[in-house]
Structure 1
Amino acid sequence: MTTTPTTQRPIAEYRSQVPALQAKAYFNYGGQGPMAQSVLEAIQRSFQQVQQLGPFSGEVNDWINRETDQTRQAIAQELHVDAATITLTENVSIGCNIALWGMDWRIGDHLLLSDCEHPGIIATAQEIARRFGVEVTTCPLMKTLNAGDPVAVLAQHLRPETRMVVLSHILWNTGQVLPLTEMVAACHSYSNSVPIRVLVDAAQSVGVLPLNLTTVKADFYAFTGHKWWCGPEGVGGLYVRPGALASLHPTFIGWRGITTDTKGKPTGWKPDGRRFEIATSANPLLAGLRAAIALHHEWGTTQERYQQIQTLSRQLWQRLSELPGVTCLRTTAPYAGLVSFQLDSKAHRQLVQFLESRQIYLRTIADPDCVRACVHYFTLESELDQLVQAIAEFKPA
């Protein structure tokens, strides 16, 4: 049963605004969400505004300040935090790098990752280990997909030397939704000489889960606007918990993050999340992200959209589970929009190519070797039919 939204905007009306959804069955929201026409127009208007005002002038500068303030506030409202805790970035990776490189690492420190983190995180951790003599280990959360307690597994891998734990709120490969609040609490309550900081890769959770980061209490929460929010690529953010701000130091530094005296000489850092911002960005994209967020609210509340994602992903999981030769990674219905599955033939890349030839878009995952389909709240049941039927017809070479 589908969720009845509090507003009257029909799904068909929403989809009619999105060029990428015309004559296509799209299941790649976890990679990049398609933008609505209203989002594209907001970006175009902003680029025109900049050119008409300057583009380098006092008036443009005032406009940029308003745009950044409004965007910071729009993001903060979605995450239920104060706008001062938000650093505007370009994407998840930059947010994660701010947190990872901003720590005051020492030889012998321990950095703990889950075994389901993105290669970009793993590569960054490896370089930190090389430069600073930090030990990097992994926590086996993949095995808890269908059984086991992620909180207990994490707690078993904490050490007195652990300085940071990196987790994904929703695991990008299996779709598992981690009990993040409890896992953060386990890290913060661990008896240690220095606090264990928790960095969260939120690539697959922002725009999906109803979030209140004030209660979650993660130290750093890195996200982007171009996936489930369906905004433009090039705009993201990092939430820094107020209690963790003093422990994080800027690494890449520019005029946006510093304070100056009357002669323009640097005197220190901005007092809030702005200290991690660097220099000139594509400011017209900010209007696009705000337009994308506002458009989602026209359909329903965050909770209603999440419930619809759950309903549709459950339907897809059920139908895939019934297909001969197909095994879903989860043995029970997923809690979010990522549905990962395997073919007995393991011809995953061939399947993705076959589906794309039919205008059906999803992707392969390397570890575990599988195919991932992403279901949004405005996915149509007819698209689920189209996907399942095409998989049933696929014959590997």
Structure 2
Amino acid sequence: MVAFDPDLGERPDSLDALRESIPACDRVAYFNTGATGPSPGRVLDAAAAWERYHKVDVLAEMDPYPVAFDEYERLRERLAAFLGADAEAVGLTESTADGVSAVAAALDWEPGDVVVRTDLEHPAGTLPFDRLARRRGVEVRVVEAPDGRIDADAFADAVADAKLACFSSLSWNYGTRLPVRELCEIAADAGAFTLVDAVQSPGQRPLALADWGADAVACSGHKWCLGPWGAGLLYVDPAVDDDLRPTQVSYRSVDDPGADEYELKAGGARFERGTASLAPHVGLREAVGTLDSVGLDAVHDRLLDLAGRLTDRLDDERLLSPPDPESGLVTVDVSDPEATVERLHGEGLVIRDLPDPEAVRASVHAFNTPAEVDRLAAALNAEP
């Protein structure tokens, strides 16, 4: 069957061309990619082209179901390669929260079982375990990570008798990188299942999820990858398949839906469900193709340079993230975060406020410019 391959013209092959391809950059200086990234026009065009192709051209010529199922597999292979994982390990989900919740619910829980997480986690990484505590009597231990730094010994003590450990690869509130491989090794030595929230990592630098040693990794492509909403990815090491019993089973999560006794697919695909739109993942495939065309190493170098330019221009006493940035996330102490966000938006600068710590956060991507960074620094320095 012919693969879907819309004619979108040549992909951007430089950082300047990447910026020119993003329509939102014509309207604002956008520094909120850590919440949701602005998509290149070709990403939006790819998603729209799939919908028209599938609902018009395919319907007129062939059965839309096998076409869609073939495309699911092509998407899985391409997006898994971007993550540095085998295709059989990766499932196409809706979001990071979707993946975290699905894995949390798929383990067999007994009263008194222990979950360990850090105090850096987004609600996507806390609410599923709060529910387990209420419904199943699970104990949730929280390891403090001051300023986004986790103490490996404290983590080891907490996870010694735990069933699961959940932590982020990159803290959303401080922009710090956690020692994922080390934490996974500590948890594995204790016999705990490891679930990593990696939503802030894809698109900032090249990844090799298989090297982390995690049992499962949930992420999505609407942030630093610049993809659409609705394109989540769930990595599950097939070696832990027997430990996971999804609470929802449908025809995309099994090998043969018509068999008398179904067999769940390997890896993350066992968490896929029914007739989900392919458009978000088609858009994400174009987004990662665009980043690969520009070069992820170049993207990583530029965003760190620009984030460093911002921190260099701010008072160190107001910086809550590292002065030598480890990512594109820069967190700044201000007297009134919500008012600051509103004021800067009026000046054409888009950032966000954070609940913990109470501060503002700028997300610096490679499509930003030095002039925009200088404007943002000046606006933040004008804060009383």
Same fold (TM over 0.5): yes
Counterparts of 1:100-115 in structure 2, within 5 Å, are: 100-115=104-119
Deviates more, 1:92-101 or 1:303-312: 303-312
- Structure 1 contact 114–140 (Cα < 8 Å) conserved: yes
Aligned residue number for residue 6 of structure 2: none
Aligned residue number for residue 174 of structure 1: 174
Aligned residue number for residue 278 of structure 2: 283
Name the amino acid aligned to 2:281.
L
Instruction: Note the C-alpha offset of 1:206.
Output: 1.4
Matched, 1:337 2:332: no
Instruction: Note the C-alpha offset of 1:143.
Output: 4.7
Matched, 1:273 2:268: yes
Instruction: Note the C-alpha offset of 1:9.
Output: 3.0
Q: Paired residue for 1:29, among 11, 29, 33? A: 33
Unaligned runs of 5+ in 1: 1-6
- Structure 1 contact 362–373 (Cα < 8 Å) conserved: yes
Q: Secondary structure at the match of 1:372?
A: strand
Matched, 1:120 2:114: no
Q: Secondary structure at the match of 2:196?
A: strand
- Structure 2 contact 237–267 (Cα < 8 Å) conserved: no
Q: Secondary structure at the match of 1:255?
A: coil
Instruction: Note the C-alpha offset of 1:120.
Output: 3.0
Aligned residue number for residue 88 of structure 2: 84
Instruction: Note the C-alpha offset of 1:368.
Output: 1.0
Q: Secondary structure at the match of 2:313?
A: helix
**Matches of 1:321 and 1:327 in 2, distance apart?**
6
Unaligned runs of 5+ in 2: 1-10
- Structure 1 contact 150–178 (Cα < 8 Å) conserved: no
Q: Secondary structure at the match of 1:267?
A: coil
Name the amino acid aligned to 1:320.
L
**Matches of 1:8 and 1:123 in 2, distance apart?**
39
Q: Secondary structure at the match of 1:49?
A: helix
Counterparts of 1:274-353 in structure 2, within 5 Å, are: 274-300=269-295, 302-321=296-315, 327-343=318-334, 346-353=335-342
Counterparts of 1:356-395 in structure 2, within 5 Å, are: 356-394=345-383
Change (3 A) 1:331 1:38: closer
Aligned residue number for residue 156 of structure 2: 155
Q: Paired residue for 2:63, among 55, 59, 65? A: 59
Matched, 1:97 2:89: no
Aligned residue number for residue 4 of structure 2: none
Instruction: Note the C-alpha offset of 1:172.
Output: 0.7
In the superposition, the TM-score normalised over structure 1's length comes to: 0.89
- Structure 2 contact 148–175 (Cα < 8 Å) conserved: no
Change (3 A) 1:391 1:165: same
- Structure 1 contact 150–179 (Cα < 8 Å) conserved: no
**Matches of 2:315 and 2:305 in 1, distance apart?**
15
**Matches of 2:38 and 2:321 in 1, distance apart?**
27
Aligned residue number for residue 195 of structure 2: 199
Counterparts of 1:220-259 in structure 2, within 5 Å, are: 220-259=216-255
Change (3 A) 1:153 1:65: same
Name the amino acid aligned to 2:160.
R
In the superposition, the TM-score normalised over structure 2's length comes to: 0.92
Aligned residue number for residue 209 of structure 1: 205
Aligned residue number for residue 141 of structure 1: 145
Q: Secondary structure at the match of 1:112?
A: strand
Aligned residue number for residue 3 of structure 1: none
Q: Secondary structure at the match of 1:365?
A: strand
- Structure 1 contact 67–286 (Cα < 8 Å) conserved: no
Instruction: Note the C-alpha offset of 1:304.
Output: 2.9
Instruction: Note the C-alpha offset of 1:39.
Output: 0.8
Instruction: Note the C-alpha offset of 1:52.
Output: 1.7
Q: Secondary structure at the match of 1:382?
A: helix
- Structure 1 contact 354–394 (Cα < 8 Å) conserved: no
Percent same amino acid among aligned pairs? 29
Name the amino acid aligned to 1:256.
R
CA deviations over 1:202-252 (Å, ceiling 9, x no partner): 111111132212211111100001111001101111000122222111112
**Matches of 1:56 and 1:221 in 2, distance apart?**
39
